[in-house]
Amino acid sequence: MTPEIQIFGTRKSSDTRKALRFFSERRIKTHFVDFDERAASPGELKRFAQRFGVAALVDRDSKRFVELGLTHAQYSDERWLQKLVEDPFLLRIPLSRYGAKLAVGVAEDEWRGWIER
């Protein structure tokens, strides 16, 4: 049995909807974790941070980032991870996972590689 694709994001996000649509159009089963209903777990975020670095997870262009006045924030990686767990709307979404394979943001080329195997 092949593992299903996990997508983390919010339904309000056009990028998250784009990811869900990408897999739906290809009849690939997904498990959607909506940050509006459940925050990201520290363990899950650490997995992405280890692969891409914490800075890659922070959406510096998000409205929430600007609202919180974080433009000049100089936090440690641990503090950023804590902030991302507390406020998932600071994350670049969607986060997607297929087994041990991970992607941040809209990564259609990466996703194609996952489903072609």
DSSP structure string for 63-78:
HHHHHTT-TT----HH
Where in the chain are the domains? 38-117
DSSP class of 34: E
- Reported as a single tens digit per residue, the pLDDT across 40-79 is 889 999 999 999 999 999 999 989 999 999 988 899 999 9
Report domain 38-117's class.
alpha beta
Residue 98: count other Cβ atoms within 10 Å of its Cβ. Answer: 22
**Is pLDDT of 3 > 70?**
no
Q: Distance from first CA to last CA of the chain, Å, rounded?
A: 13
Q: Could you tell me the strand order of the sheet in which 95-98 lies?
A: 30-34, 5-9, 95-98, 101-104
Q: Is the pTM of this model over 0.75?
A: yes
